[in-house]
Structure 1
Amino acid sequence: MGERETIAMMALVMALQALAVDAMLPALGDIARDLDVADPNRRQLVVGSFLLASGFASLVPGSLADRYGRRPVLLACVAIYVVFSLACALVTSFDALLTMRVAQAMGCGGLAVLPGAIIRDRFSGDQMAKQMSVISVVFLVVPMLAPSIGQVVLLFAGWRWIFVFLAVMALGMGVWVFIRLPETMRPEYRQPIRPMSIAINMAAAATNRSAIGYVLGGALTFGAMIGYVNSSQQLVGEHFGAGTMFPVLFGFSALMMAAANFSNSRIVERFGARRVSHAAVILFIFVSGLQTWFSSDPDETLWQFMPLMITNMILIGFIGANFGSIALQPFERTAGTANSMHAFLRLVIGSVIGIVVGQAYDGTAHPLALALLMSGILSLLLVLFSEKGKLFRRLHPPGTPRPIVLEH
């Protein structure tokens, strides 16, 4: 399978999880009314519970993929996604919906983990960062379209049919993967399923100094963004009065984030993933400071909020793929296990932060702005820890060999 088809497939596999989150946003109000949810903030758990469960689920598939290969584990995850999407469409209570969402996420955790491992099988260094950025461009088209897709479904049918749509999309992806995806893992890299070996490899992924600052820093900025996703329908659609324009504004934000990832794929090989992402974190802190200042005004308008929010989403586009690629560099033989641990930390920490920020929504943008600012500052400190206090280094200029650290 060619490089372009591989990138497109991995992007759309990852996008299944984004679709399961963002297609729900226009339907949260309908779900709350249909299933008798009194607390308006509780509806956010349809999103938050899925993301949090995805984090815990990501611990398992990587080790299985390091033993049995990427392809069979990925196909199993897609199958589970299909089954529990249909189960979500059949629930009769809000608690049952949350249970099925957790089961859906626990089963399909590999959709977030395995694409990174497959790309790591084929690329390394800044080339890997470039490919992950290209994947992110395609991946982010889905959040751009997902709320509009959900809105269109609601025009013709109830919210349950959104889950049916998810199942159909996943089934199509499963057929494509089954027919076209070869096994990318080298046979000699297969790892035994031994609890002690898995524990050692996961511990190495979680304690490697050059990686962990980027993993945790990425988790913080991701969490702040999830806080925006969780509260966006209430904040943008209701508080700022966007109404039916909400899916358009949300989609435009994702489009700008995709454009950032496309730009990153063009410049990262020239300037290096570290230089690009370090500059983005510093700018992120500055823009978040402006957001905090504007949000302290009770008369803040939509047109003061959205440009700054979109700018920060653009900067997250420069942070996410580069942080993830840098963090995976030391782990060639155990890319699946390492990416499982990294995805676990990113998703669990990010989801908890996102839930807390969403539940802190008070009818203004102030809790979100403070979360963005604090996540940026802490991310910079964590990067400084991984880099031993030095920013903007490029460890491997173009044309020089890149040594690979092999772990036991």
Structure 2
Amino acid sequence: MSAQPSASSPQPSAPAAYPGPGMREFVALMAALMATNALAIDAMLPALPAIGAALDVAEENRRQLVITAYLLGFGGAQLFYGPLSDRLGRKAILTISLGLYAVFALLSGIAASFELLLGARVLQGMAAAGTRVLVVSIVRDRFHGAAMARVMSLVFIVFMIVPVLAPAFGQAVLLVAPWRFIFIGLGVYAAAVLAWALIRLPETHPPEKRRALSLAKLREAFAITLSHRLSIGNTIALTLVMGGLFGFINSIQQIVFDVFGRPELMAAIFACVALPMAASSYLNARIVERHGSRRLMLIALAGFSAAAGLHLAVAALIGETLVSFVAMQALTMVCFGLISANLGAIAMQPLGHIAGTASSVQGLITTIGGALIGLAIGQAFDGTTLPLLTGFTLCGLAAFAVALWANRKAVAGA
């Protein structure tokens, strides 16, 4: 494994011959690709009551399936994109992924029943899976270790602005048009990002580095990904934390509308929670090469668990208010911003030679596992914030325990 860049390096350096965009444009493009996923989830939240009313879905908890259906498609399809991109290159697969995303977004917008909408959402998620796998693979093609963690943190800074804007986008559409135009907007966005990538992004996985599509090589790559302690341990830890995040996404519309009775504050509350994540991702990008991914990740996981546990105690013993919910949830999400990029980078660190396949396997575990955990948390909604906060606390504690196991040799040697 190559030596990590020194703490004094101003930024991770790309190979001299790299013909693509500069660092700022590269980060912006990677963030725009990942934002296709965040937009498809978060822009829906203000529209769930309208979707339910239009498609005769009376049970509020059932409306959460608009989110979960997308996540299940997104998680399951990731397994295929990595091996394909390892064999055929990143750019061709990215083009297909974005094109299909736009088509299925439009299909969601014209769905005549809730069942058809869920089917279209599964297909949209399957198409979007390529962006998640390929962003991680493309970044790993160019960077590794702490440098990769720093680049991913920079990507997440821009990417995390999307949850701030997406509910506002959804609310703005609902002011002037039916909810179906939210999906049309997603299709237009995907087409614009596709044009950007076609024009500016070069192939980062040259033919000489590509792997044959054979069952033997796939089994070998899967076995390495699933058996390496750093890979599987940190992937499971990230899955648990993502489960808490998806539980928040599933529950937040009902919490804002039903618990606090302030639907007009949906976008503002989401912004108050998402902006601290972006700020901590920026902080991570500045300090990760100096302090190390593992140390920051473990400290943040401990803080995540403590903040979630404290919030649960406040809500159960004193009572929840809108102010306490936003303040304590923001504190928890500050820690999340220091967790996600570092866990992902550590999990990928030993797998650069199979980056596409490894990213697929890890993405499948993280998304499917996180979606199912988040669905369980969301379906437990009982008119209070307690199910969400209990889920956050349990997910944080379990993730911290798994991360300690996965990184114990590195921690012991630190």
- Residue 232 of structure 1 pairs with residue 252 of structure 2: yes
Q: Which residue matches 2:174?
A: 154
CA-CA distance at 1:3 after TM superposition: 1.9
Q: Is the 8 A contact 1:298 1:364 kept in 2?
A: no
CA-CA distance at 1:391 after TM superposition: 3.5
Q: Is the 8 A contact 1:274 1:392 kept in 2?
A: no
For residue 215 of structure 2, what is the amino acid of its counterpart?
P
Gaps of 5+ in 1: 395-408
Q: Which residue matches 1:397?
A: none
Q: Which residue matches 1:65?
A: 85
For residue 355 of structure 2, what is the amino acid of its counterpart?
A
CA-CA distance at 1:267 after TM superposition: 0.7
Q: Which residue matches 1:257?
A: 277
Task: Report Cα offsets for 1:322-375 as digits up to 9, x if no partner.
Answer: 000000010111100000001001001000001110000011111111111111
Q: Which residue matches 2:6?
A: none
- Residue 320 of structure 1 pairs with residue 354 of structure 2: no
CA-CA distance at 1:237 after TM superposition: 2.9
CA distance in 2, matches of 1:389, 1:124: 20
The ranges of structure 1 where at least 4 consecutive aligned residues each deviate by more than 3 angstroms after the TM superposition are: 389-394
CA distance in 2, matches of 1:83, 1:380: 40
CA distance in 2, matches of 1:171, 1:155: 24
Number of equivalent positions? 394
- Residue 89 of structure 1 pairs with residue 143 of structure 2: no
Q: 2:402 aligns with which of 365, 370, 382?
A: 382
Q: 1:280 aligns with which of 300, 309, 315?
A: 300
CA-CA distance at 1:49 after TM superposition: 1.1
Distance change in 2, residues 1:365/1:393 (3 Å): farther
CA-CA distance at 1:253 after TM superposition: 1.3
Task: Report Cα offsets for 1:83-131 as digits up to 9, x if no partner.
Answer: 0001001111111100100011112211111001000000011111000
CA-CA distance at 1:299 after TM superposition: 3.6
Q: Which residue matches 1:246?
A: 266
Distance change in 2, residues 1:83/1:104 (3 Å): same
CA-CA distance at 1:389 after TM superposition: 6.3
Q: Is the 8 A contact 1:275 1:392 kept in 2?
A: no
CA distance in 2, matches of 1:130, 1:49: 32
Task: Report Cα offsets for 1:140-165 as digits up to 9, x if no partner.
Answer: 11111000001000000000000000
Q: 2:165 aligns with which of 145, 152, 177?
A: 145
Identity, in percent, stands at: 41
Q: Which residue matches 1:26?
A: 46
CA distance in 1, matches of 2:398, 2:409: 14
Scaled by the length of structure 1, the TM-score of the pair is 0.94
CA-CA distance at 1:260 after TM superposition: 0.8
CA-CA distance at 1:212 after TM superposition: 1.3
Distance change in 2, residues 1:95/1:298 (3 Å): farther
Q: Which residue matches 1:183?
A: 203
Q: Which residue matches 1:405?
A: none
Task: Report Cα offsets for 1:170-228 as digits up to 9, x if no partner.
Answer: 00001011111100013322000112211220121122112211110011011111101
Task: Report Cα offsets for 1:11-36 as digits up to 9, x if no partner.
Answer: 11011010000000000000000100
For residue 329 of structure 1, what is the amino acid of its counterpart?
Q
CA distance in 2, matches of 1:268, 1:294: 32
Give the match's secondary structure for 2:204.
Answer: coil
Give the match's secondary structure for 1:332.
Answer: helix
Gaps of 5+ in 2: 1-19
